[in-house]
């Protein structure tokens, strides 16, 4: 299969649709991003890299970072994290507060905002906020094998100044005893992890361990156990697109995690790690063109986990 030809054709097919969707204007810095951009990068388990479009343009990965933070938290706390956060799809918006009251401050899963804030609280244990931020940045650089990856300070500041709903979620969980550190400290880590800026090429490389049973096939290093990689992929499939997760599984059939910056990391187990980016979002907060591109890729490669 000529994967370069496949993604070139996808990028060409979507060229006239650039700009579809709506940028996440509730974060002022993201509102400034040109919506007429689209990039795709694919890194195979044998180390080949294929790119098309704006694949080398950095963007704010936002909630895609939750995959890496979950991986860190599992390394620190192991299976004990599931006492504080669930593993079920939410069926609600990513920043919803409704279920928290009904379920006594235990978020449905680690990929909605509330769950990711609890995961941050776990990673923060024993650290100052700056140390925890440094830890996740070093981890992402290690996974991507790229020391140039950085945090977009303007985006982090923008989120800090406007993250009122996240403050509400965090305070609500602390009232139930499910947040152990100061709210401002936890959210400081959360806003900075979301503001990590990466290109599609870097992001696809960072996710490769999830396509290769938990180890990095290029460096040869083990990142997580095969069992843990499988479980992270399972959560990405069922919960990675908020209340659009079922629709994404239906149309694409790959584990994936989206972010309101317009990025999506998708995993074809045993095959490749794929990153797409287009800033315009659909009605449930996922990249409009990115979702279409991944549906096209899954159809043309037969990589759906549910079969060809």
Q: Which residue has the tokens 């919803």?
A: 96
Adjacent-strand bridge partners of 41:
51, 275
The whole-angstrom separation of Cα 86 and Cα 74 is 13
Are the C-beta atoms of residues 21 and 289 closer than 8 Å to each other?
Answer: yes
Cβ neighbours around 53 below 10 Å, total: 25
List of residues 6+ apart from 66 with CB closer than 8 A: 110, 111, 115, 116, 119, 193, 257
Residue 17 to residues 56, 256, 289, Cα–Cα distance (Å): 20, 22, 8
Cβ neighbours around 2 below 10 Å, total: 9
Beta-strand (E) ranges in the chain?
39-44, 49-53, 59-60, 150-151, 196-198, 256-258, 263-268, 272-277
Helix and strand numbers (H, E) in the chain are 14, 8
Both tokens of 266, joined, read 């998708």
| Nearest to 198, CA basis, from 32, 68, 295 | 68
**Strand, coil or helix: 168:** helix
List of residues 6+ apart from 289 with CB closer than 8 A: 14, 17, 18, 20, 21, 38, 276, 278, 280
Query: Which residues are known to be catalytic?
Result: 63, 66, 190, 242, 260
Rg (alpha carbons) of the chain, rounded to whole number: 18
The whole-angstrom separation of Cα 255 and Cα 290 is 14
């Amino acid at each position: 299969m000529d994967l370069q030809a496949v993604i070139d054709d996808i990028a060409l097919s979507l060229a006239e649709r650039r700009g579809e969707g709506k940028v996440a204007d509730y974060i002022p810095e993201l509102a400034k991003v040109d919506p007429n951009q689209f990039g795709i990068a694919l890194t195979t388990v044998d180390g080949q890299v294929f790119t098309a479009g704006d694949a080398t343009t950095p963007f704010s990965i936002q909630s895609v970072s939750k995959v890496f933070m979950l991986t860190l938290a599992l390394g620190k706390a192991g299976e004990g994290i599931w006492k504080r956060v669930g593993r079920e799809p939410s069926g609600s918006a990513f920043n919803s507060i409704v279920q928290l009251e009904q379920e006594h401050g235990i978020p449905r899963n680690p990929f909605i905002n509330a769950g990711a804030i609890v995961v941050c609280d776990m990673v923060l244990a024993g650290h100052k906020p700056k140390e925890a931020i440094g830890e996740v940045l070093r981890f992402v650089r290690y996974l991507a094998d790229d020391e140039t990856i950085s945090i977009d300070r303007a985006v982090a500041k923008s989120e800090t100044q406007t993250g009122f709903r996240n403050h509400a979620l965090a305070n609500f969980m602390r009232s139930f005893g499910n947040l152990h550190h100061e709210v401002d400290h936890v959210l400081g880590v959360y806003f900075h992890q979301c503001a990590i800026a990466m290109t599609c090429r870097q992001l696809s490389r960072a996710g490769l361990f999830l396509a290769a049973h938990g180890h990095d096939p290029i460096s040869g290093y083990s990142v997580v156990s095969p069992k843990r990689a499988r479980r992270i992929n399972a959560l990405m499939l069922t919960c990675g697109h908020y209340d659009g997760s079922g629709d994404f599984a239906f149309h694409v059939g790959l584990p994936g995690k989206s972010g309101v910056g317009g990025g999506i990391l998708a995993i074809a187990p045993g095959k490749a790690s794929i990153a797409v980016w287009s800033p315009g979002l659909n009605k449930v907060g996922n990249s409009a063109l990115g979702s279409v591109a991944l549906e096209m890729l899954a159809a043309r490669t037969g990589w759906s986990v549910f079969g060809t």
